[in-house]
Structure 1
């Protein structure tokens, strides 16, 4: 847990071994999901041409190879995580759940996205265990349709983010880290939001 961080630069000459790719994905599918709906889908891009197509369709015009994208584009593996809301609405209309109206307003939060996020975190942690670096990131909503068309993604699957994976290369620490971790007494509350301080 302490070694996990977002890595934004990779060694382009060291591919991720196929058996490691399989472990990353196997661990992702062990994530918890509401109603065991497992409404996720993963697009795995290992071929250079596919990765280049991903970057071409998801990078806003003018960003190109500047800034943080330079190192990110060196990653030999990309996995795009998707959620499928319909899978959850259908699952919870089954007899053991009984929400036959399939109304998404019944859900206090979009568990389809949360569960795909759980699966993504398991990939990030597995990457650390395998001696790899990884970074979860989103791409702009206006790029989603072009991405769908380029990779044939069905309309009921929504990309929640992508994960670059590879062997880390030297990079700069994110300036955001200067913010530091928020102290526990600001984020952990016992019994009442304004209750006693965290231990």
Structure 2
């Protein structure tokens, strides 16, 4: 598939065929492509938890779903995904890297960073997985783990303290799914979001 077509076809998919697992070779390509994301100082401070066994996926949904919430609507379709990948960022990897002699920030002060590049870089790795999924004929969806459920998620999967889940990605073969109502907002045009030379106040 041509790259332009991959970009145009990418959208968040919220329902999957539970009877078609993602082939192991495709899973490996998804993860390998994710590791080609840019990272500040080539810190590569990310970690990916792969959940492709039914018991592990069930544990993920149990840990991350607020109690009393029935798996209906979008959640029901999401739970049918045969693959869940949880990307994590590691701030310490960046602070350690930039304390090395070629960078020299030996105080390891997070305040030196104008934005949390550890989260941004892991987000870019996630986007590469989303694009790879489209290129492989799959659907995928990036979504957040509710803040109040993160500790339960960590406990369920033994996630080390230095790694922070920035969200999760469901991946699988698409089932006929409804389009998000948010799409009715329409895509903003290039002219609406691009400013050349000076920020327009229009």
- Using the size of structure 1 for normalisation, the TM-score is 0.97
Say whether 1:48 aligns with 2:54.
Answer: yes
Q: Within 2, Cα distance between the matches of 1:173 and 1:34? A: 35
Per the alignment, residue 16 of structure 1 pairs with 22
Return the alpha-carbon distance in structure 2 between the equivalents of residues 107 and 129 of structure 1.
Answer: 34
Work out whether 1:111 is the aligned partner of 2:114. Answer: no
After superposition, give the CA deviation of every residue in 1:21-65 in whole Å (9 maximum; x if it has no partner).
000000000110000000000000000000000000000112231
Does 1:78 pair with 2:88?
no
Q: Secondary structure at the match of 1:189?
A: coil
Specify which of 181, 184, 187 is matched with residue 178 of structure 1: 184
Where structure 2 has 5 or more consecutive residues not aligned to the other structure, the ranges are: 1-6
Equivalent residue, structure 2, for 1:100: 106
Deviation at 1:194, TM superposition (A): 1.7
Cα-to-partner distance string for 1:100-128 (whole Å, 9 max, x where unaligned): 11110110110000000000000000000
Taking only aligned residues, the RMSD between alpha carbons, in angstroms, comes to 1.0
Segments of 5+ residues of structure 1 without an aligned counterpart are none
CA distance in 2, matches of 1:100, 1:139: 33
Counterpart CA distance in 2 for 1:151 and 1:36 is 27
Q: Which residue of 2 aligns with 1:59?
A: 65
- How many residues are aligned here? 196
* Structure 1 partner of 2:4: none
Of 14, 29, 35 in structure 2, the residue corresponding to residue 29 of structure 1 is 35
2:168 corresponds, among 155, 162, 168, to: 162
Could you list the runs of 4 or more consecutive aligned residues of structure 1 that deviate by over 3 angstroms after TM superposition? Answer: none
**Helix, strand or coil at the partner of 1:43:** strand
Q: What does residue 123 of structure 1 align with?
A: 129
